[in-house]
A and B are shown apart, each in its own frame.
Chain A
């Protein structure tokens, strides 16, 4: 019911079958990668394997702990570089492995297209499916957002938006890419300079750690010469006769696939409404004017009278530059108010105890004392859901700083998100700010196992004429559409509706937070 108006909005035909199959056939090739014991440094030539954290024929994901090795007095933890299945452990616990020797074999599902560098493949896959992603924002898709660009919910979309990196028309702006992050050997730099190629445009390259290789420069040149009107990378894949192209799923996209298949076990129900954020809109400029200096990176104002004359002032926490920001948006305020509502509603702080369902006993819920909120993060390499832990203990400024930092980590090549940002436990409520990508009004987001008991998709705010206000004459109000999906095994419809009303009471009267002492 909700899908049809959305489809009309996007100019697609109104009639579509819900369980449509995707256009192309996604094939993936399994490659057995040997993971060797890397040079740990310090002149160490061999180590003893103390403990394997995985078993053979078990799946593993990047950054999962793989094994622990020891060389004389140093204990080293090794994490997996790939997502895949551990096929064989080549060194047993207690045995010694030499540097360069294989530690284990991991079966990796790689997307392979002959002749195209890895960096191109990622963009091809996503350029294609951006179009297919927007088509059915139905049960099969999770709304994703980029926290790095266009984070704000626009009040009037008159000025051109900054493009999402996954948008086919997106080109990297040199101003935003730090030239220091461009890695290339001197010979490659020289070659690029000779050919008049700006290395910044190529970052990241296909070599180790995102290094730009000579073949990247050559590929860029050949692309530039045969540039079609649309995405430059699309031309590399389509065959000359316009035949079908078979593309394999990238690592992260395949991870999404698997998570979505698991999500079919969860009975979803939806609930949508609009929040009146006119009051938020009014206080946002004030909040922006008072971003603390350790978050904004501005030097603290020099005061004529020294407050530290009697007693040293405790220094504010040091904040890395990647977590600093100069503009506060609605999202941190919405997260803060959401966390307050979650503190009043313990069931929204609960998750299904993992072992309880496994033993086919009665399932139990684990209720956490704090509100953990996961945020959907769409990066050039895929969709991630890092978690903001204990959101209720953080101020709005602190939440904004964390969001900025998470998006910075996600944008790195490879994504620098670690288990610290993406703990196995995940949050109990997920938030997806789809309004930053498009003028979405309603969505039906999907819960994945580990994503909590409910997920909310936040659309784009619009100024509307609200006839319920202004004594019948009406008033211009800024409304934000939100769509919830929740796990009906845990939550009742009435509970979710009541919870949303509790949240609304915070969002529509944010001045309450002053009285409650944020």
Chain B
């Protein structure tokens, strides 16, 4: 008898497996690692897993993104992101589908996403999985009452005992979290700063628009630091292994991680194609902004001008430009016209205004334009 060649068996199984994996109806694995660093793909893939995984099975997804700023579902990009720096650095912002605040992603930051049935969703429990993973790397991490993961420098000191310092002052954050709940599924996802460019983070997330009042969720600013500050050996791969291990232990999952990328057979899925097209679209990125009001003032040589812009869903609903000191009737007319012309236009996306002849009016328009696109 001719001994069967091992290759023959391997080939046979591979072909049958391929027919299962073309256009999978539902995600069949419990642990996914994304090789892709395309944030549009990763966020959409996460959403696809969220909507299509059988509801009773837990799932873990870990991914990294190329540099980008990720704002929460209901946030105001003009308030949260320094758009001027973002444009200069060529780093886009993306609105994600879960709530919460704004974070900065780059390849030194690892994102985790834990999906569970809605009925058993417990923020603390999922946060603890990650905390245990970080602890397994030799770093003493803790969870605060907002379920953010932080590392304390000196947890106890005489000053704290005597309540001379507030507990938060001693803690630095390494992770921010957000959640999404729908139908019968819920997920907790978050960042983990391992070796992120904190200077870029600070620059992009700096907001100086004190007079912009937004109805949406405002970010809670926290001092952050990288895990590598606490342990020189920590790395993305070690973190991934630790989280996968803790996830497997917590949910009794014994399958290995499945590595995927933004290959054609996945990007061809309808849902993913549509999701990846939706994320950068104006309607999603800007059009989901809740109501906000921005009051600004500027002193020109010939007059003081005040502008009160209100916007909803990214469209300017009202714009009142008024002259406070100085000026004349022509100027008042010009600013009145300017205000009316801006109504109904997309905030931050207006290139030219017609019908403003007065030079001063044009100067005011340039100022407004600059303010609205920062």
Contact = CB atoms under 8 A, between A and B. Distances in A.
A48 interface: yes
Contacts of A370: 23
Contacts of A311: 6, 10
A367 to B, nearest CB: 14
A234 B52 CA distance: 41
A40 B181 contact: yes
A317 B181 contact: no
B13 A313 contact: yes
A317 B28 contact: yes
Contact of B74 (A63, A75, A418): A75
A418 B73 contact: no
Contacts of B152: none
B99 A73 contact: yes
Interface stretch (A192-200, A390-398, A492-500): A390-398
Contact of A74 (B51, B57, B101, B179): B179
Given A41-B121, A314-B14, A318-B28, A74 B99 contact: yes
A105 to B, nearest CB: 22
Contacts of A77: 180-183
A315 interface: yes
Interface string A25-60: 000000000000000111000001011000000000
Q: Describe A's contact surface by its main secondary structure.
A: loop
Contacts, number: 109
B6 A79 contact: no
Interface string B238-270: 000000000000000001000000000000001
Interface residues of A, number: 42
Given A75-B74, A77-B183, A50 B290 contact: yes
A76 B13 contact: no
Interface string B52-93: 101001000000000000001110000000000000000000
A40 B180 CA distance: 11
B178 A76 contact: no
Interface string B19-58: 1111111001100000000000000000000011010010
Interface stretch (A106-114, A159-167, A302-310, A343-351): A302-310
Nearest to A303: B9
A75 B6 contact: no
A71 B20 CA distance: 40
Given A70-B217, A94-B290, A315-B255, A310 B183 contact: no
Interface in A328-364: none
Given A50-B73, A316-B20, A75 B97 contact: yes
Interface in B91-143: 97-101, 121-123
A42 B99 CA distance: 15
A320 B20 contact: no
Given A74-B180, A77-B183, A314-B14, A42 B74 contact: no
B290 A93 contact: yes
Given A42-B123, A316-B17, A73 B177 contact: yes
A400 B9 CA distance: 27
B291 interface: yes
Contacts of B288: 51
Contacts of A307: 6, 9-10, 13
A168 B9 CA distance: 53
Interface in A358-404: 370, 389-390, 393-395, 398, 402
A70 B99 contact: yes
Given A73-B100, A74-B99, A310-B10, A393 B23 contact: yes
A311 B17 CA distance: 14
Q: Describe B's contact surface by its main secondary structure.
A: loop
Contacts of A420: 51-52
Contacts of A389: 25, 270
A314 B13 contact: yes
Contacts of B301: none
B215 interface: yes
B232 interface: no
A72 interface: yes
A370 B273 CA distance: 15
Given A50-B290, A75-B73, A305 B4 contact: yes
Contacts of A93: 290
A192 B22 CA distance: 50
Contact of B179 (A51, A75, A394, A402): A75
Given A50-B74, A70-B73, A94 B215 contact: yes
Interface residues of B, number: 49
B59 to A, nearest CB: 12
A316 B99 CA distance: 35
A390 B54 CA distance: 19
Contacts of B72: 73, 75
B54 A320 contact: yes
Most buried by B among A40, A73, A313, A418: A73
A42 B116 CA distance: 14
A413 to B, nearest CB: 15
Nearest to A40: B181
Contacts of B291: 94
A184 B47 CA distance: 36
A317 B19 CA distance: 11
Nearest to B180: A75
A314 B122 CA distance: 33
A75 B23 CA distance: 29
B74 A48 contact: yes
B121 A390 contact: no
Contacts of B23: 370, 390, 393-394
Contacts of A94: 215, 290-291
B101 to A, nearest CB: 7
B268 to A, nearest CB: 9
A316 B288 CA distance: 41
Contacts of B7: 310
A79 B73 contact: no
B101 A73 contact: yes
A72 B178 CA distance: 9
Contact of B25 (A71, A72, A402): A402
Interface in B154-209: 177-183
Given A70-B217, A72-B100, A75-B179, A314 B17 contact: yes
Nearest to A93: B290
Contacts of B4: 305
A48 to B, nearest CB: 7
A484 to B, nearest CB: 27
16 contacts: A41-B121, A42-B121, A50-B74, A73-B100, A74-B98, A74-B100, A74-B180, A75-B100, A94-B215, A307-B6, A307-B10, A317-B20, A318-B28, A318-B57, A370-B23, A398-B20
Interface of A: 40-42, 48, 50-51, 63, 68, 70-77, 79, 93-94, 305, 307, 309-311, 313-318, 320, 370, 389-390, 393-395, 398, 402, 418, 420, 518
Interface of B: 4, 6-7, 9-10, 13-14, 17, 19-25, 28-29, 51-52, 54, 57, 72-74, 97-101, 121-123, 146-147, 177-183, 215-217, 255, 270, 288, 290-291
Given A75-B99, A311-B10, 7 more contacts: A48-B74, A70-B74, A70-B217, A72-B146, A311-B6, A318-B57, A402-B25
